Structure 1
Amino acid sequence: MARGVLPEESTKELSELIDVLIPLFFESLPRRDQRNWARVYLNGLVSTEGKKTIRNIAGAGASSVEQSLQQFISKSPWDWTPVRRSLAQHLERTAQRPLAWVVRPMVIEKAGDRSVGVGRQFVPQLGRTANCQQAGGIWLASSEASFPVEWTLTLPGPWTSELLRRRRAGIPDTARSLTPSQDAVHAVQRMAATWQLQRRPVVMEVGNSELPGTIDALGVQDIPFVLKVDGSLPVAFGGSGRHKPGFHLAPARELIDSLRSQRRVVEWTRHGRTEGAVTLLTSATILGTHCEERSGPPHPPLLLIGAWTEATLLPSEFWITNIGDRPLAQLFLLAKLTDRVQLDFAEVCEPVGIRDFEGRSFRGWHHHATLASVAHAATLLSARRRSESSLRAGTGTLDPGAYGSRRTGPVLPPRPLIPGQSARRASIR
């Protein structure tokens, strides 16, 4: 989706859908004028050309509109949590059934130092130090579409320890300086405890040093997870593969590679594409990770999953999960929902301006992120409506880029010849 103006017909349909969604999601806003400014802002996010700043949304010469939007976004004390919760509950009821809650980091590079949460910090996603904000979205994701419903904004130490800076940005007294992963896990815990959603597996990438804390935090609430880890992670396991019976400790990559003779071929369709892909999978039960320092009882055994692509001689991707009752192919599908989220982030969430907030307040950033999430949902739901209308009209065709579009079966590459591989072949559709 281009970052520009939608066709007039699509814009009209989106505006009509936004009118329907306002009373559903913004019922918690106490005043009618607040709900009206939410409508103005949402229409601006889906129809304004270029960067979705308050000034651009207000339009040239509309200083009174700009001032009112500034008040509504950056200063008005409305609570964004009920809006996000209503959005998530509505999507769970009416959209494609979500398969997982996917955590996606978001980095917003900045030139100055006054935007809330900005600072020079090392960013794993960039592989370098950058002057930026680090945020994270929690997405309800299926194989057909994904929707951000909750956001976190990581606050480096100075933003919580320096009283003047904290007051200027309006940072709540309860906010603490945590890592992006810790912020995301706490948000997931709140969603699981208070949002009245059906609990789904959490899919996210976790660094080696933060893995034990993440496993414990999710495990204490019985939240299922599929965590992407680095192949260098030391894991503890019993005798497996080339290892004799007994307790062993080795990098995840070494353990998975020792089980290469047990690999299964999995066929699947990459998100947003029609061509098929082939991946080789195997797994091993592990007892824990070497970096754990636990005072409580040991957690139940976990499953380590490893994947090879056709072009790699060594396993290239690794996940740890506490889900032991699903086929390996289904767990791989859950893990790859991160690709679905990445696609929708680039094609929908960025065009509606998720990175574009230029204010300096903590409240303003969260208000903007909330409204961008609603605009994202409205865009995809409107596309689905158009597709369904097209089918009802008897055209029998669908926009291939529309939410919910049906695809023909994947065109799969030839099956690779693997010595010792069984004839059984898993398949994901």
Structure 2
Amino acid sequence: MSGFAVEDTLELWASSLRDVKSRIRVLFTQDRVAASAGQFLDGLLGDERRKTGWMRAEAAGDKGPWRQQAILGRVPWEADALRDIVRDYALETLADPDAVLVIDETGFLKQGHASCGVARQYTGSAGKITNCQIGVFASYVSRHGHAFIDRALYLPKVWADDLERRHKAHVPKDIDFATKPALACAMIERALAADVPFSWVAADSVYGVGDIELALRRAGKGYVLGVSAKHTFNSWGKPCAVAGTAKDIAADLPPGAWQRLSAGMGTKGERLHDWAYIELADLDAEDFSAAFSGIWTRGLLIRRNIADGDIAFFSTWSPQGTPIETLVRIEGHRWAIEDSFETAKNELGLDHNETRSWHGWHRHVSLVMLAFAMMAVIRHHANVAPPPKTMHRPHRHT
């Protein structure tokens, strides 16, 4: 955190914590409940490695975890209202019109079958099919930093169709089964409705085709969305005609079609890969009922790992003339949400939720999102170099 002395950083931390606690006060009808929520936040930000109810209670000076548990359980307050507070708070510092909205999911390993949404399902967090919950998240990534601004618990169909399990986990009656892309699309629609400033969306192959593409085209947002090797592409109106699966198109590319480019800085330096980009078609925004005009280009972006030759494919949508370097940079923004998951789990207890209910999961995750956003805001302000000091020279009389 360059540019800040230690005492300034501590004061920034203290003032930021007071600020976020005051922002969430409106969620609670009683002062004591608001105080417990503030202590919950203190516990998430504390040094304890496990953010369990007992650990948070000990840090708060309570004799037991009941007050901490009540914040996630019986005390009435709206987790979605907190989600909106987190979004608005983060945007006050991180907002940028060129920002990227990154969609991804993470798994929460669980024992038993009672926790809401838990099932044997694949999670990239473990790299296998295992007993877990899946959360879908939207992260706002800009030149100022990054923070989570939305989240949703994925409810598998076996849960959505089981009235008894729904009742025990307090799943709201208006919650129906929704695919992960549908959850992501709802997040994008909420961001648009809230006038969140962003120009791009990036996501992996789980979210790469369908309603998300159409929604973003109509909204005038570019995208770099992962697709499978079997996804088919066709070009029209372009000098180099292509047709077939993404894998076959990549196999037919000449060596000169590839460029070695950086997707951004990683922990070990520039994240270099070989990239190829094929423009497929130029379309007028009016062709898909957009409320604006302009020519946009549909394309196929291909990434090849330098070490092992592993290939990934991305469907792209961008203003005409957008260079490959920009698309590569947008795809590279996906590392931010992976970094966010790791930080939120290791430092803020994202996966330490002990409740089994629908609202307990969303409350816990939303409080972690607030803690993460506060850290992002502090990091941004602490890294902004102060203006250079000017030396005041005494006026010399002649």
TM range (shorter): 0.7 to 0.9
Residue 153 of structure 2 is matched in structure 1 by: 153
Residue 47 of structure 1 is matched in structure 2 by: 46
Shift of 1:64: 5.9
Shift of 1:19: 1.0
1:203/1:225 contact within 8 Å kept: yes
Q: What amino acid does structure 2 have at the position aligned with 1:57? A: R
Equivalent residue for 2:227, pick from 226, 229, 243 = 229
**TM norm structure 2:** 0.81
Structure 1 residue 322 and structure 2 residue 327: aligned?
A: no
Q: What amino acid does structure 1 have at the position aligned with 2:270? A: G
Residue 254 of structure 1 is matched in structure 2 by: 248
Flag the 1:102–1:226 CA change in 2: closer, same or farther, 3 A: same
1:304/1:318 contact within 8 Å kept: yes
Structure 1 residue 286 and structure 2 residue 280: aligned?
A: yes
Residue 21 of structure 1 is matched in structure 2 by: 20
Shift of 1:231: 2.5
Structure 1 residue 35 and structure 2 residue 34: aligned?
A: yes
Partner-residue secondary structure (3-state), 1:322: strand
Q: Deviations over 1:134-170 (max 9, x none)?
A: 1111101135632112111011123222222111211
Residue 393 of structure 2 is matched in structure 1 by: none
Any stretches of 5+ residues in structure 1 without a counterpart?
1-6, 289-295, 395-429
Q: Aligned equivalents of 1:165 and 1:110: distance in 2?
A: 16
Q: Aligned equivalents of 2:171 and 2:7: distance in 1?
A: 40
Q: Aligned equivalents of 2:110 and 2:11: distance in 1?
A: 34
Residue 70 of structure 2 is matched in structure 1 by: 71
Aligned residues: 372
Question: How much identity, in percent, do the aligned residues show?
Answer: 18
Q: Aligned equivalents of 1:61 and 1:385: distance in 2?
A: 28
Shift of 1:13: 5.6
Q: Deviations over 1:292-351 (max 9, x none)?
A: xxxx979986211112343455x7222112213432211111111111221233234531
What RMSD over aligned residues (CA atoms) do the two structures have, in Å?
A: 3.4
Larger mean Cα displacement after TM superposition, 43-52 or 182-191: 182-191
Flag the 1:62–1:100 CA change in 2: closer, same or farther, 3 A: same
2:263/2:331 contact within 8 Å kept: no
Shift of 1:230: 2.2
2:141/2:336 contact within 8 Å kept: yes
Flag the 1:280–1:128 CA change in 2: closer, same or farther, 3 A: closer
Q: What amino acid does structure 1 have at the position aligned with 2:176? A: R
Q: Aligned equivalents of 1:8 and 1:53: distance in 2?
A: 30
**TM norm structure 1:** 0.76
Q: What amino acid does structure 1 have at the position aligned with 2:303? A: A
Q: What amino acid does structure 2 have at the position aligned with 1:156? A: P
Partner-residue secondary structure (3-state), 2:347: coil
Shift of 1:363: 0.6
2:106/2:341 contact within 8 Å kept: no
Shift of 1:25: 4.5
Flag the 1:188–1:239 CA change in 2: closer, same or farther, 3 A: closer
Q: Aligned equivalents of 1:393 and 1:344: distance in 2?
A: 33
Q: Deviations over 1:30-81 (max 9, x none)?
A: 4433332221111000104121122210018966662222222222231122
Any stretches of 5+ residues in structure 2 without a counterpart?
1-5, 291-295, 390-398
